[in-house]
Amino acid sequence: MAKDIVIWPEKVLNAPARPVTEFGEPLDALLKDMDEAVRAAEGVGIAANQIGVPLRVALVARGDGTFFEIINPQILEKSEKVTLREGCLSVPEEWEQVERYKRVKVRYQDRAQQWHEVEAEGQLAHIFQHEIDHLDGTVYVMHLSSLKRGLIRERMEKLKRLLKQRARNAEGSAAG
Ligand SMILES: [Zn+2]
């Protein structure tokens, strides 16, 4: 079963993730867990801390059903800004306009430790920035007004109570 996605607010989403220094089997397993989780949630991107692992690893959808696997990414160049509608798997059912750079150049490592550079524009550039933000401990709601963020926080806390309740009920029935 796919790993649960951490719902904001939660400490692991608000702290910067650590750079990856060990490549190989544990990283491959993490990438597999992330791939399963993002596909199960029908997302266009996911950061490792969204499944509770504070490492600088993210997946970004290419739009053809495959994902960029970006490890230790950094933004090298930025262009002018543009506003697009954004959502987040850790903030379900919410969509807000967010200002980001229209084009970015990103440097990242793949699972074989090779460095790559990619230039992205529009929606793809937004996803790269959104995921790299996650790795820096920034959820997109931090770019919204405190009023909007406060309302979203209330809805997320309510949702988390509901999910906990459901999990308890499920445990109860499984135990008979
Ligand atoms: Zn997100």
Residue of higher predicted confidence among 119 and 1: 119
Residue 14 backbone dihedrals phi, psi, to 5 degrees: -105, 5
Q: Name 37's Cβ contacts closer than 8 Å, sequence gap at least 6.
A: 2, 3, 4, 5, 46, 50, 51
Residue of higher predicted confidence among 70 and 171: 70
Average pLDDT over every residue of 130-140: 98
**Assigned domain for 164 exists:** no
pLDDT computed for residue 2 by the predictor: 92
- The closest of 32, 33, 56, 60 to 46, measured between CA atoms, is 60
pLDDT computed for residue 7 by the predictor: 97
Q: Answer yes or no: 157 catalytic.
A: no
Choice among 86, 94, 96, 131 that is catalytic: 131
| C-alpha 95 to ligand 1 mean position (Å) | 11
**Assigned domain for 137 exists:** yes
Structural domains counted in the chain: 1
Round to whole Å and give the CA distance between 132 and 74.
7
pLDDT computed for residue 172 by the predictor: 78
Whole-number average pLDDT of the chain: 96
Domain holding 62, by residue range, is: 11-144
Round to whole Å and give the CA distance between 103 and 138.
20
**Assigned domain for 160 exists:** no
Amino acid in position 160: K
Q: With bands split at pLDDT 50, 70 and 90, how would you rate the model's confidence at 66?
A: very high
pLDDT (tens digit per residue) in 1-59: 899 999 999 999 999 999 999 999 999 999 999 999 999 999 999 999 999 999 999 99
| C-alpha 87 to ligand 1 mean position (Å) | 7
CATH number at residue 54: 3.90.45.10
